[in-house]
Structure 1
Amino acid sequence: MIIRQKSNVSDYVLYCILYMTTALSNKFVLSSLGFQYPTIFQAWQTFVSLVLVQMFSGNPLKHITLSEIIPWSPAMLFYVTSIFSGSKALAALPVPVFLLSHGVSDACLMLCDNHLPSGLTHLSIPLKISGLLLSLWSVMREATLLDIVWVVVYSISLGAYKSVGFWYTSPQWPYSGLTLAQRQYLNNLFGFLFLLPTAILLGHHQDVHRDFPHLRKVNFYIGCFVSAVMGWAVKRKWAVISGGFFNARIEMVQLLAKVTTLIASMHIYPLNHTILLWISIFIGLSGDVLHIIGSLYEETEVPQHDMNDVLVGQ
């Protein structure tokens, strides 16, 4: 179980670095190397997370029963859907577009729940959605219809996961017996047990051996290792700095991490920065800023949604 502790500037800086490294290393494996097998990639990510949790924290599932796991099962399904579709979306679309999709997942949460402040926070919903739609329009020539479908599925499934996470931790929900660490562990365990057999049944392991040109190159294995370890580290650091709660301060740190990643991605993965893309980025980030300002008016802490909005394992 992760205990809430007072965080300082160095914790926030480290979180931003981990966030950026995770997103860019995922992009490297999925796009630069063209590893188009999300079942295998995400099975690897979830497996590494399970191993690292066992090494550093022990087994978090001791003394829990099946009746405690069942109420969390819808969230596990949405989690697996989000990491699979997120891999497909990140592989095909630029990092700025992928980051804007996280804002839409927040909008889905706000549309499903009434726990968030009114006013400016609600005004952020159309801005977040418009930012993603405009960014997709700006890359329409390079993207296929299927790529757009994947990013929409990713946004909705991640938003659904966040919504279930909020309902589960709300005082009105009578079956919320699992800790944050236990829920995250169950997500990874279910992801690994579902994705690995799926990869084998679909013959993806054979496809990789036959068609993937970088299988015997060391940069592929380094990228996979860094991406999996950083994915685990960023979720752990997120849990430490947030402590199971979500407020305006945490939202500001998350926005800083997004902006840092967005700027770095434009230098590492150059793309045609059209005026429309810049407008979409400005609108999407403006929605995030309005969300933060609205939260500042209501500083009472509410349970966080227990998943960092980056492709970790996202």
Structure 2
Amino acid sequence: MHSKRHVTGLIFCLFYVVSYFTNKYVLSVLKFTYPTLFQGWQTFVGGLLLLVSGKLGWVDISSIPRSAALSWLPGSFLFVGNIYAGSRALSRLPIPFFFTLHNASEVMNCLILKFTQRERIPWMKIFSLSLLFMSAINLPLCDPEFDFGGYTWALVHLICVGAYRVFQTQFKTTPLSDLEQQYINYLFSVLLLAFAAHPTGDLFGALEFPFLLTPIFHSGCCASAVLGFFLLLATVKLKSGLPLEQCGIWIVLAKVFTTCLSPFVFNMEVNPASLCCVFFSHVGEALLVYSERTSQIR
């Protein structure tokens, strides 16, 4: 049983690393910085594969009531903001720096719950959130290649991620599974991003993209969409087969693996101060998982 859990966790880590590397390659190396088209393509393929998988019985997706889909639309809005801003930020920031800012979404999540539910926060969780917060706000000051636009989009991304997590945990009016929620997100994202492609100028910009007709670009885009779908399935499998705190451990490990391997794949400029921010961000996330585990034991 334990070996099966480890295999599931390792498969999740593999898809996590390869998925982020593929997205980073298309966004930064090939410089395809048209998120309405890139994310629209990914969500279209993800939704199509999810639909086919449900029809074939590979995944469990029941008929979604219209009322449940409409009630979930605020979450879908946040999801679109998450992937759009995340794509913008990832195209301009190194992966370790992106994760450092992404981890700060836990602070946003906790603040929203604090003001809405007045819940008491244990001291260990406060300490871990402080590490995440301090790492995120100090990173732009330490970054040797500061990119104002990249950090601005990362801020929008972490706000959307934090708000989405709160909405997901508090949304209990209808019993939608994670896959059903994601299916609604995919459908809504495709429609919204398709309508936004022309006003944002991404459609005409993509037509002048120098790598548009090259096999490497097509392969990268197809791989990013398919890998994103398999990462979704691996994440759902991980959450369904392991306790919440163990899922958190594997997510931390996946980010650490991706952070440690990324300098060998992509060029990035760092200094000791920025490395400290990245390191303490991962430490803070690990302590956050530990604090949630100890609070559940008590």
Q: TM-score, normalised by structure 2?
A: 0.90
Q: How does 1:99-178 map to 2 (within 5 A)?
A: 99-113=99-113, 118-139=122-143, 141-168=144-171, 173=172, 175-178=173-176
Find 2:11's aligned residue among 4, 10, 14.
14
Deviations 1:44-92 (A, max 9, x none): 0000101111221229775433221222111100000010000000000
Q: How does 1:251-266 map to 2 (within 5 A)?
A: 251-266=248-263
Cα distance, 1:185 vs structure 2: 0.3
Go from structure 1 to structure 2 and tell me whether the alpha carbon gap of 1:244 and 1:118 turns closer, same or farther (over 3 Å shift).
farther
Q: Distance in 2 between matches of 1:244 and 1:39?
A: 34
Find 1:292's aligned residue among 282, 289, 294.
289
Deviations 1:260-281 (A, max 9, x none): 0001111111322201111101
Q: Distance in 2 between matches of 1:81 and 1:179?
A: 21
Q: Greater share of helix residues, 1 or 2?
A: 2
Cα distance, 1:244 vs structure 2: 8.5
Go from structure 1 to structure 2 and tell me whether the alpha carbon gap of 1:116 and 1:223 turns closer, same or farther (over 3 Å shift).
farther
Q: TM-score, normalised by structure 1?
A: 0.86
Find 1:232's aligned residue among 229, 234, 253.
229
Cα distance, 1:144 vs structure 2: 3.1
SS at match of 2:101: helix
Structure 1: runs of 5 or more not aligned = 1-5, 301-314
Q: Distance in 1 between matches of 2:261 and 2:175?
A: 40
Deviations 1:111-149 (A, max 9, x none): 22257962212221111111122222222x523322221
- 1:225 corresponds to which letter in structure 2? C
Q: Distance in 2 between matches of 1:233 and 1:121?
A: 32
SS at match of 1:271: coil
Q: Distance in 1 between matches of 2:80 and 2:151?
A: 19
Q: How does 1:77-96 map to 2 (within 5 A)?
A: 77-96=77-96
Query: What does residue 182 of structure 1 align with?
Result: 180
Q: Is 1:278 aligned to 2:275, yes or no?
A: yes
SS at match of 1:8: helix
Query: What does residue 311 of structure 1 align with?
Result: none
Residue correspondences, number: 289
Q: Distance in 2 between matches of 1:86 and 1:118?
A: 30
Structure 2: runs of 5 or more not aligned = none
Between 125-134 and 63-72, the greater mean CA deviation after superposition: 63-72
Deviations 1:174-209 (A, max 9, x none): x13322211110011100011012113444222211
SS at match of 1:296: helix
Q: Distance in 2 between matches of 1:293 and 1:82?
A: 26
Go from structure 1 to structure 2 and tell me whether the alpha carbon gap of 1:208 and 1:105 turns closer, same or farther (over 3 Å shift).
same
Cα distance, 1:7 vs structure 2: 4.7
Between 111-120 and 195-204, the greater mean CA deviation after superposition: 111-120
Go from structure 1 to structure 2 and tell me whether the alpha carbon gap of 1:14 and 1:245 turns closer, same or farther (over 3 Å shift).
closer
Cα distance, 1:256 vs structure 2: 0.5
Find 2:211's aligned residue among 196, 199, 214.
214
